Chains A and B, each alone.
Chain A
Amino acid sequence: TQLLEQSPQFLSIQEGENLTVYCNSSSVFSSLQWYRQEPGEGPVLLVTVVTGGEVKKLKRLTFQFGDARKDSSLHITAAQPGDTGLYLCAGVGNNDMRFGAGTRLTVKP
């Protein structure tokens, strides 16, 4: 059983469309992180959210942490082919980190 549930698992959209990826858990985390991973490479940290209700923006990416610090969402506006990749959420606990199953995003030109 995955500690963190991500949805959708796969997403294929056209360039210019918007999308939202969800990360849900029954556990409370001290913080939650979002990563993007390209094939054959390690994950790269996009953002860390710490406070319940927190919203962070990174250019066309908007990250939100749920009020109860159990869930998070990633919204991409006007997706571009360069956004293609595996998006992973990770819950940070006591000196460890648990990853969601990931959302594989493909943005077609």
Chain B
Amino acid sequence: GAVVSQHPSWVICKSGTSVKIECRSLDFQATTMFWYRQFPKQSLMLMATSNEGSKATYEQGVEKDKFLINHASLTLSTLTVTSAHPEDSSFYICSANQRGHTDTQYFGPGTRLTVL
């Protein structure tokens, strides 16, 4: 149980285009979803926290207009990287809390974004 999937697992795009990454909780309702970014050989950095049906809370230094987050249902959150640039290339990982178990996050497998 408590499986989180991400799609796509990897994506390559041209500079200036937008890319959407999906995060789904497959067998539970996720009241809160988190988006992380991980650069090579570095740790996970929290980008934003989103609760179903409300606006995401972004960490300091993360541009909300560049990284659009939509958490429209209890099983789906999307991250859209708008006008992507090579410096946005990274490994993006989502996680989700299960309702009533806020001390445990279940992580997705990650999405490797490469911007040419």
* A residues lining the B interface (CB < 8 Å): 2, 30-31, 35, 40-45, 48, 88, 92, 95-102, 104
**A97 in contact with B107 (CB, 8 Å):** no
Q: A30-B103, A44-B107 are in contact. Are A99 and B49 (CB under 8 A)?
A: no
Instruction: Jot down 17 A-B pairs with beta carbons below 8 A, ordered by A.
Output: A35-B107, A40-B110, A42-B95, A42-B108, A43-B44, A45-B104, A48-B103, A88-B43, A88-B44, A95-B32, A96-B34, A97-B34, A97-B105, A99-B36, A99-B43, A101-B42, A101-B43
A42 and B109 contact, CB distance less than 8 A = yes
Closest-CB distance, A96 to chain B (whole angstroms): 6
Cα A94 to Cα B41 in complex, Å, equals 27
Taking CB atoms, residues of chain B closer than 8 Å to A100 are 43
Give A29 Cβ to nearest chain B Cβ, in Å. 10
Q: Say whether B83 faces chain A, with CB atoms less than 8 Å apart.
A: no
Q: Which 10 A-B pairs have the closest CB atoms?
A: A42-B107, A102-B43, A99-B44, A101-B43, A99-B43, A42-B109, A42-B110, A42-B93, A43-B107, A42-B108
A104 proximity list for chain B (CB < 8 A): 41
Nearest to B38 among chain A residues (CB) is A37
Is the CB of B102 closer than 8 A to any CB of chain A? yes
Interface of B is mostly: strand
- B77 at interface, CB cutoff 8 A: no
Which of chain B's residues 1-44 have a Cβ closer than 8 Å to chain A?
4, 6, 32, 34, 36, 41-44
Q: A41-B109, A41-B110, A42-B93 are known contacts. Are A98 and B103 too (CB-CB below 8 A)? A: no
Per-residue A-contact encoding for B78-116, CB less than 8 Å = 1, 0 else: 000000000000010101010000111101111010000
Task: Please report the C-alpha to C-alpha distance between residue A44 and residue B112 in the assembled complex, in whole angstroms.
Answer: 17
B2 nearest in chain A by CB position: A45
Which residues of B are found within 8 Å of A48, using beta-carbon distances? 103-104
Q: With A40-B112, A43-B107 given, can you name 16 additional A-B contacts, CB distance below 8 Å?
A: A2-B43, A31-B103, A40-B91, A40-B110, A41-B109, A42-B4, A42-B93, A42-B108, A88-B44, A95-B102, A96-B34, A97-B95, A97-B105, A99-B36, A102-B42, A104-B41
